[in-house]
């Protein structure tokens, strides 16, 4: 009687193993993705939706990721594209609502443009800052680094980081972003 030799697992099993490994690596970036999604919207359910769609797209397009490259950067690009796709989809919906209204019918819902205005206002307000101040703020607010870690990376005292973040908060609150959002920007120390 002959023995059965198995050279390698079937291809579909290796793909499943790779997907499971990638899913756990992607899940490790969940908090960073949530913080990055918070740059685009303040609504917690919208943040969850953006992150969920990002993870889904990443898993379905896993073959496009090159191992050894920056996974977090790749995920942030996907999340940004998910957000832009949503803006485009809402713009198309607004055009349909407008066309429906022009035809003599009343729109069922009015288009929500505040989210888009907020993103534009934040981008504009951050663009008015110096590169050093903007980078410091992004490390704390978007990347979620502590003041101490930010100070270590920027090679400045912690007090300098606190001062830069405080000045940026003040700038955002007094800029057009503060007028649009009506909210005070809250950051964890």
pLDDT at 8: 44
Residues 125 and 99 in one domain: no
Domain boundary among 95, 111, 127: 111
**Closest C-alpha to 116, from 13, 45, 46:** 46
Q: Measure the CA angle with vertex 83, ends 126 and 71; round to 5°.
A: 85
Report pLDDT for 188: 41
What single-letter DSSP state applies at residue 38? T
Same domain, 15 and 86: yes
Residue 41: which CATH number? 1.10.1740.10
Looking at the structure, tell me whether residues 138 and 155 fall in a common domain. Answer: yes
| Of residues 87, 24, 23, the one with CA closest to residue 56 | 23
* 3-state percent breakdown (helix, strand, coil) of the chain, nearest 5: 70, 0, 30
Of the three residues 111, 143, 165, the one that is the final residue of a domain is 111
Q: How many distinct structural domains can be found in the chain? A: 2
Same domain, 107 and 129: no
Residues 102 and 118 in one domain: no
The reported pLDDT for the residue numbered 118 is 67
Host domain of residue 159:
113-189
Q: Within this chain, do residues 97 and 117 fall inside the same structural domain, yes or no? A: no
> Looking at the structure, do residues 99 and 131 belong to the same domain, yes or no?
no
Has residue 60 been placed in a domain?
yes
Q: Is residue 4 part of a domain?
A: no
- Same domain, yes or no, for 78 and 136? no
Q: For residue 93, what pLDDT is reported?
A: 75
pLDDT at 117: 65
Q: What is the pLDDT along the chain (189 residues), one digit of tens a residue?
A: 444 444 444 444 445 556 677 788 888 999 999 999 988 888 888 899 999 999 999 988 888 888 888 999 999 999 999 998 888 888 777 776 666 666 555 545 545 565 666 667 777 777 788 888 888 888 888 778 899 999 998 899 999 999 998 888 888 777 755 444 444 444 444
Same domain, 99 and 154: no
- Whether 28 is in a domain gets the answer yes
pLDDT, residue 18, reads 64
Pair 43, 136 in one domain: no
What pLDDT does residue 124 have? Answer: 78
Task: Specify the pLDDT at position 12.
Answer: 45
Within a domain: 59: yes
Pick the closest to residue 177 from 127, 112, 111, 110 (CA basis). Answer: 127
Alpha-carbon gap, residue 100 to 145, rounded angstroms: 47
């Amino acid at each position: 009687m002959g023995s059965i030799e198995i050279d390698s697992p079937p291809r579909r099993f290796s793909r499943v193993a790779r997907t499971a490994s990638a899913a756990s690596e992607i899940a490790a970036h969940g908090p960073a993705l949530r913080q990055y999604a918070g740059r685009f919207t303040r609504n917690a359910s919208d943040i969850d939706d953006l992150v969920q769609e990002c993870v889904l797209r990443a898993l379905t397009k896993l073959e496009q990721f090159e191992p050894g490259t920056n996974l977090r950067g790749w995920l942030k690009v996907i999340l940004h594209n998910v957000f832009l796709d949503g803006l485009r989809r809402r713009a198309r919906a607004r055009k349909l609502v407008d066309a429906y209204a022009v035809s003599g019918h009343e729109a069922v819902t009015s288009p929500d443009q505040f989210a888009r205005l907020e993103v534009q206002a934040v981008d504009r307000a951050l663009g008015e800052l110096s590169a050093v101040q903007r980078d410091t703020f992004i490390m704390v607010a978007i990347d979620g680094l502590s003041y101490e870690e930010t100070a270590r990376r920027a090679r400045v005292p912690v007090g300098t980081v606190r001062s830069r973040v405080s000045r940026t908060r003040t700038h955002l609150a007094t800029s057009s972003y503060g007028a649009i959002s009506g909210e005070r920007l809250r950051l964890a120390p």
